[in-house]
Amino acid sequence: MAETGPLVFAHRGSSEALPEHTLGAYLRAVDEGADGLECDVRLTRDGHLICMHDRRLERTSNGRGVVSAHTLAELNQLDFGSWHPPWPDSPDDLILDRRGGHAAVLTLERLLDAALAAGRPIRLLIETKHPARFGHLVEVRLVAMLRRYGLERPGESPVRVTVMSFSPGALRRVRQLAPELPTVLLMDLLPPWLRDGRLPSGIRIAGPGIRVIRNRPRLAERLRGQGNELYVWTVNTAADVDLVLTLGADGIISDRPRFVLDRLGR
């Protein structure tokens, strides 16, 4: 853990308060003082990287079908905000990237621009979602975009990118393309090969879900004992914040970044 305590990441933006993966949710997280922003990326049919968790559109928009079967222009017609409960305490201009009155789909490019415009250091945790349709094209496109922004390695920029995946193969591909990009191996179950806490070669950050940590707190010790960092998701309650703090987490990923920061006394 850094001397100042764990990094606090806003999971899909400040996504308890505002619709996940919208520009408003990310701007709110920046305003709330989050150290970093977590974002899932997928490819549209015409090859644009967009910020979106689900494979399908129904839960978080008024569209239907599989995301990867739509072009960006088609997704731009949809509303990604109305499904979420109202947000009375937010100034209107913070809420949405309005396009035709809708909460627009967020491209990764727009998120990178927003992070660079924040005026302070921002960490970005970018998760590539499972590449069923496009193979490793998501990783290829992601690294190409990061390279365009000069973010494919930790450098002078106030924005620092880390790539995450549940797939060791996807992370291997990322490291082949951009060896200096840090990577996080996510896990929602305990892989049998992980019992000694050793991660696959080249990965030095473990990303266990909070349920894994609650059930197996000794795992955190073993992972850290092997020199790995520990980023835990999705940590939304006081009890869970306290638990991961006790276990020495280096990163806390939460839908409620302000709540976590308050709990940490920051």
- Distance, in Å, from the CA atom of 33 to the CA atom of 55, rounded to the nearest integer, reads 30
Regarding 20 and contact with Ca ion (CB under 5 A), the answer is: no
With CB cut-offs between 5 and 8 Å by kind, which of Ca ion, ligand G3P, none does residue 175 bind? none
70 is catalytic: no
* Alpha-carbon distance values, 265 to 34, 241, 259 (Å): 13, 12, 10
Using CB under 5 A as the binding rule, the residues of this chain from 46 to 105 that contact Ca ion are none
Q: Which is nearer to ligand G3P, 102 or 235 (CB)?
A: 235
| Binding track over 107-146 against Ca ion, x by CB under 5 A | --------------------x-------------------
Q: Which is nearer to ligand G3P, 7 or 102 (CB)?
A: 7
Regarding 127 and contact with ligand G3P (CB under 6 A), the answer is: yes
Q: Which is nearer to Ca ion, 102 or 206 (CB)?
A: 206
Buried residues in 142-173 as b, exposed as e (16+ CB within 10 A): bbebbeebebbeeeeeebbbbbbbbbbebbbb
Rounded to a whole number of angstroms, the minimum distance from the CB of residue 184 to ligand G3P is 8
Assign residue 49 a region: left if phi > 0, alpha if psi is -120 to 50, beta otherwise?
beta
Contacting residue, 16, 35, 40, 152, with ligand G3P by CB under 6 A = 40
In the block, tokens 């899932």 appear at 40
**What string of DSSP letters covers 57-76?**
STTTSS--SBGGGS-HHHHT
- Residues listed for the chain: 266
Interface with ligand G3P (CB under 6 A): 11, 38, 40, 53, 127, 186, 207, 233, 253
Query: Which residues are known catalytic residues?
Result: 11, 53
